[in-house]
A and B are shown apart, each in its own frame.
Chain A
């Protein structure tokens, strides 16, 4: 049997980092786009559509991500769509993050004084113009710190993709453990790697928050 040195373990773990980052990035960007669309509906006039978005958010926030993952992974094949672990994870995390991002952004938009809506309406702007030209530019500043904060949650959530068999950091750690029998070192290192990805984001989010608090005072 081959002997694994600490460097071998660390190197193999580091090689898995891009998969984790890629999955996080896809879920974040995809979730952002879907989330934006949902936000436009959520803030709009159509009551039924608004309630549907509310329900969507509530469902994602009140059920385990693991169950959502299983439902996508086992559910899509029933519709005749063959999914790989990678596709199931990417699709599921995209929907998951869209629900959270919509909710975060709705909060920021609702913090905009009502006068901004009324003022822009009185200038003859229609709904999408109001959003694009007046409301969103102001809301974005407020939305950025919690959005970055959510990114941390999302990176951590990608670890669950290992359960359906996608080879990211956590799955690689499990495989390495089976090969080397050094779980203490491996899961310790994996925790550190996640920490070094997430902690800078946490700090950044905090800095942004403080800056925003100073500006709005």
Chain B
């Protein structure tokens, strides 16, 4: 024993921590916007009449959901250059996070679309509204409101899982911790501090998103 914890040594790295946090949040934001957009399109495709399209989307969802995120990321970062597609670490991380979140978002949005009563669609049709506006203006907003909490949960999970992108040298929060502990040898303190930062990020992000959702869906979020 006799080991003294020393957090004071970490104070000088405040700037690094802030930068790392910004990268983590930025990646999460990009993955959320694109992932959920793909999720909406994919979920709509799951309701299509074309069997091959449904099969294709289902295969994508199963493939992503049944393989580890880190392997997906390594595949994009190390594997794709063999096909002549060389991505920067940051781009590979953003791509992997988006592709990953999209698969879960498709599942969530599909449940959301199914939760909207058929009567809504029928009523809109009888008013002469065309298919696309029905989807965009009638069905989608209700579906989004119904599954909003699940989406928030998935975004949080994506943010926490993004710690892994440090492994391909993206300078996110975890990478900052790796760097600092390699210089001051205070591994435990450094990782403990960063864990607490992640915890705060997760809690604050969840709160803010739920709050934003209340405004966005005007009380329709359950």
> Does B3 touch A at the CB level, under 8 Å?
yes
Smallest distance from the beta carbon of A47 to chain B beta carbons, Å? 22
Q: Are A183 and B74 CB-contacts (below 8 A) given A63-B198, A188-B79? A: yes
Name the contact of A194 in the complex, choosing from B3, B67, B188 (C-beta under 8 A): B67
Q: Are A64 and B198 CB-contacts (below 8 A) given A160-B70, A163-B167, A191-B67? A: yes
Number of contacts between A and B (CB, 8 Å)? 118
Name the contact of B78 in the complex, choosing from A67, A152, A157, A187 (C-beta under 8 A): A187
Chain A residue, CB-CB nearest to B194: A67
Q: Are A191 and B71 CB-contacts (below 8 A) given A67-B191, A78-B188, A202-B62? A: yes
> Does A41 touch B at the CB level, under 8 Å?
no
CB–CB A63/B83 < 8 A = no
CB–CB B62/A71 < 8 A = no
The CA-CA distance from A71 to B199 in the complex, in Å, is 14
The digit string for B70-100, where 1 denotes a CB below 8 A from any CB of A, is 1110110011111100000000000000000
B 152-182 contacts with A by CB, 8 A? 156, 160-164, 166-167, 174, 177, 181
CB–CB A188/B75 < 8 A = yes
CB–CB A183/B78 < 8 A = yes
Cβ of B191: which chain A residues have Cβ within 8 Å of it? 67, 70-71, 74
A 165-215 contacts with B by CB, 8 A? 170, 173-174, 177, 182-184, 186-188, 190-191, 194-195, 198-199, 202
> Does A68 touch B at the CB level, under 8 Å?
yes
The CA-CA distance from A150 to B180 in the complex, in Å, is 34
Q: Are A71 and B75 CB-contacts (below 8 A) given A62-B199, A63-B202, A66-B164? A: no
A positions within 8 Å CB-CB of B: 59, 62-68, 70-71, 74-75, 78-80, 152, 156-157, 159-160, 162-163, 170, 173-174, 177, 182-184, 186-188, 190-191, 194-195, 198-199, 202
